[in-house]
Amino acid sequence: MSGANLRPKLFAATTNVLILLCIMYALTYIDRNNVSTAAFVFKQDLHLTNTQVGLVFSAFAYPYLIFQIVGGWVSDRFGARLTLTVSALIWGIATLLTGKSNGLAGLLCARLLLGFGEGATFPTATRAMSDWLPAKKRGFGQGITHSSARLGNALTPPLVAWLIAVVTWRGSFIILGIISVAWAIAWGLYFRDDPASHPAITSSELEELPDYAAKEKRANKSVPWMSLTKRMLPVTAVYFCYAWTLWLYLAWIPSFFLHSYGLKLQDSALFSAGVFFAGVLGNTVGGMLSDRILARTGSRNKARRDLVIIGFLCSLACMLPLLFSHNLTGAAICLSLAFFFSEFTIGPMWAIPMDIAPRFAGSASGLMNTGTAFAAIISPLVFGFVIDKTGNWELPFIGSIGLLFAGAILAFWMKPDEALAGAELLDYAATEKAAV
């Protein structure tokens, strides 16, 4: 072992990598959702309609969709260190350019570039966790990182509202862009694709991790796209149903409180933050519970699929009162509970690509995350169009209720207990199952 292991350090190397990923998840959601809070200001400044604002929200998702799969393949081929460093530099610059936009065209171009930069991030992070986390902690790892994303959601409305008051809406994007570029530099300097090559890794940590060198040697470098796509298709469909509601929340919740209940921007931001904090708890609880069920039962169907079904059904049940009541406190409570149960499913969902295809976790998670990219394109536009036509801010939630119910049914076709067909991958999957 390197002499660096003898020096005292605050956290283990595996913990530091997880912390860096948590920060990244938070930053990606802050940078993609800051427009939701700033929309009330730049909509007036740039003379945009609700439909045009919805187009700005969804523009991010077109390249984001494309680079889910491309980015996942790149991370499997070139590693998470290079892929995430370049991706973060691109999305940081895109955030800076958003603050320089002078019209709809400029905003759309900046958001397209943001989607290009962020498209590879979650599949690549999943690949990094597949190498840096033991199988028994995958649910927790996915839960805590996505919990950080929801913490970013929760912080975004009050943070951006405060920055707008201090440095204008343009300055808020510039400051956030600089922070993202700083993260890219930190990741590139610290992370290593092979945990064994990291100067601060310990032998006790390596004993719990998958054998990176053996895994790379055993597995075919060519991604089995046909069989992998077939296995991931039900997972992608379920994730689309979840993501429809997610993007409705991310894009429109600040405006929902502001317009439907006549709140000021700062008050709307605080109510939105409260809803998103519920998602922080949901992600953490869901991921930890998934790992605990897996440890006790050895069944990935129970630990992953069944928790997704329960979360979907509870989330849609909590949304139903929104259709029959127009009470601010009641709406905030219902939305918070619905978001908690929706986010409760994330740890189990993102563990599934690592369960099915550990060697190709980047590509598999990229296929799954195309579901959220499709939803990100459609959901904000539909919400904006419905509001422009009806003026009813509760009406779009009917679509979310229906899709959550459909997702609960489709989840029965997900089979996380069955590894991707192929002797090499099945051998590796058996090794990981024995370690649980």
Q: What is the pLDDT of residues 260-283, one digit of tens each?
A: 777 776 677 777 778 888 888 888
- Average of per-residue pLDDT values in the chain: 82
Q: What is the dihedral of CA 414, 431, 369, 221, to 10 degrees?
A: -120
Q: What is the pLDDT of residues 312-356, one digit of tens each?
A: 999 999 989 888 877 888 888 988 999 999 999 988 998 898 888
Q: How sure is the predictor about 389, in pLDDT bands with cuts at 50, 70 and 90? A: confident
pLDDT value at position 252?
A: 74
Residue 313 one-letter amino acid: L
Count H helices and E strands in the chain, helices first: 18, 0
Q: How sure is the predictor about 126, in pLDDT bands with cuts at 50, 70 and 90? A: confident
SS3 label, residue 359: coil
> Would you give the DSSP letter of residue 419?
P
Per domain, the residue ranges of the chain are: 9-195+223-435
User: Is the predicted pLDDT of residue 2 greater than 70, yes or no?
Assistant: no
Rounded to whole angstroms, the Cα distance separating 256 from 338 reads: 15
Strand stretches in 86-169, DSSP E: none
Token pair 């127009």 is at which residue? 326
pLDDT value at position 189?
A: 94
Q: What is the pLDDT of residues 145-172, one digit of tens each?
A: 888 888 887 788 788 889 998 998 889 9
Rounded to whole angstroms, the Cα distance separating 15 from 145 reads: 12
Q: What is the mean pLDDT of residues 293-314?
A: 92
Backbone angles phi and psi of 134, in degrees to 5: -70, 155
Q: What is the dihedral of CA 196, 360, 73, 118, to 10 degrees?
A: -80
pLDDT value at position 253?
A: 78
> Would you give the DSSP letter of residue 199?
T
pLDDT value at position 417?
A: 83
Which region among 27-41, 127-141, 411-425 has the lowest average model confidence (pLDDT)?
411-425
User: Is the predicted pLDDT of residue 51 greater than 80, yes or no?
Assistant: no
Q: Are 129 and 142 in contact (CB under 8 A)?
A: yes
- How buried is residue 308: exposed, middle or buried, by Cβ count under 10 Å (0-12/13-18/19+)? buried
Q: Are 373 and 64 in contact (CB under 8 A)?
A: yes
pLDDT value at position 217?
A: 53
Which region among 15-24, 49-58, 297-306 has the lowest average model confidence (pLDDT)?
49-58
SS3 label, residue 345: coil
pLDDT value at position 431?
A: 44
Q: Which two tokens stand for residue 254?
A: 């600040």
Q: Which two tokens stand for residue 117?
A: 């930069």
Q: What is the pLDDT of residues 408-430, one digit of tens each?
A: 999 999 988 877 765 344 334 44
More confident of the two residues 112 and 254: 112
More confident of the two residues 3 and 177: 177
More confident of the two residues 301 and 260: 301
Length of the chain counted residue by residue? 436
pLDDT value at position 428?
A: 41
Give the predicted TM-score (pTM) of the model. 0.72
**CATH of region 9-195+223-435, choose from 1.20.1250.20, 3.20.20.80, 1.10.10.10, 3.30.70.1350:** 1.20.1250.20
User: Is the predicted pLDDT of residue 41 greater than 90, yes or no?
Assistant: no
Question: 3-33 burial by CB neighbour count: b if 16+ within 10 A, else e?
Answer: eebeeeeeeebbebbbebbbbbbbbbbbbbb
Question: How many Cα atoms within 13 Å fall on the side-chain side of residue 88?
Answer: 30
Q: What is the mean pLDDT of residues 226-234?
A: 89
